[in-house]
Amino acid sequence: MKLLGLGCGRRLGNSEILLKEALMAAEETGGIDGEYIHLHDLKIKFCTGCESCTMSLSKGGSGECVIKTDDMGFLKQKFSECDGLITSAPVFELRPPGIYCTMNDRFLGFGPQYLMDVFKRPKRAGGVISVGGSDWVQLALPQMNLAMFMLNFKVVDQIQEMWTGRPGHSLLHDDMLERAQVLGRNVADAMKKPPEEMKYLGEDPGMCPYCHGNLLLSRGEHVVECPICAIRGELKADGPELRVDWNEEDIRMIKWEPRGMGEHFQHIKERHELFYTKNDGIKQKLEKYKAYKTYSKPTRGPE
């Protein structure tokens, strides 16, 4: 079975060391063939937001991204072929680096058909590793998980390391190396199980029953929502602890399962169709904004 490792930190940096520990430990369980991709080896262009991909939902067509001159096709193929995926990244400004987010933005351009097909496949096992140089790490795992969920991977384990900012710093912490090995074994074991038997094995159960994150949005009157999964529930004080009684229907319709994902695409399609029946006058109204100043840009000499 193929286990893909995806990294985007320094060469032989902390996130790479921990990812390789995980991959090696997974391979040692037998029957697993690890592969490592470093995102900085790839050309990944920014999504420009043209929405050719989502436009195809209502207008027909493949919905694939119009950008064909970078390595997203390579990644798409690798994501299709693997049986498990571990991503590992440093923390930049509380979240994963821009290159990870840029890659994630481009998943929509894989096309609605590809994404729906991915959601018709059985779930595959995933693991996520994040390494920060301090404790400013709050958005890292949630945002890394988002990429995994969009491709229908079940994150069976996740690790947030902190205070390891210098190159190779994690090598001074045997516990971190061992924890990464555990993650590798957890992902390997899950890969060998039927999807319904894959369980979350992370150390922190978190608040959200799906992504196991601890971020909560306040929706008023004791109602909270997981910002990643959009499940709502009622916040309750349980002695000194807080707990949430999650809405069962939200869990059933969660966007990371085929039913919820299908409904999401259907809603977008309906809004698009409504737009096309009522978009009179937009072209004319845009003239006002077109006329307002030109873009400021740096002047450049020949490269």
Ligand X SMILES: Cc1cc2nc3c(=O)[nH]c(=O)nc-3n(C[C@H](O)[C@H](O)[C@H](O)COP(=O)(O)O)c2cc1C
> Which positions lie near ligand X, rule CB under 6 A?
9-10, 13-16, 90-94, 131-134, 136-137, 164-165, 167
Distance CA 154, CA 86 (A): 11
**Which is nearer to ligand X, 132 or 142 (by Cβ)?**
132
**Which is nearer to ligand X, 18 or 190 (by Cβ)?**
18
CB of 133 to ligand X, least distance (A): 3
**Looking at this protein, which amino acid is placed at residue 80?**
S
**Which is nearer to ligand X, 57 or 103 (by Cβ)?**
103
**Which is nearer to ligand X, 176 or 261 (by Cβ)?**
176
CB of 103 to ligand X, least distance (A): 16
CB of 185 to ligand X, least distance (A): 21
Distance CA 188, CA 2 (A): 10
Please state at what angle helix 258-277 crosses helix 112-120, rounded to 10 degrees. Answer: 160
Question: How many Cβ atoms from other residues are within 10 Å of residue 206's Cβ?
Answer: 18
CB of 130 to ligand X, least distance (A): 8
Q: What is the DSSP string of 202-237?
A: -S---S-TTT-----EE-STTEEE-TTT--EEEEEE
Distance CA 30, CA 18 (A): 19
CA 41 to chain centre: 20
**Which is nearer to ligand X, 7 or 202 (by Cβ)?**
7
CB of 291 to ligand X, least distance (A): 39
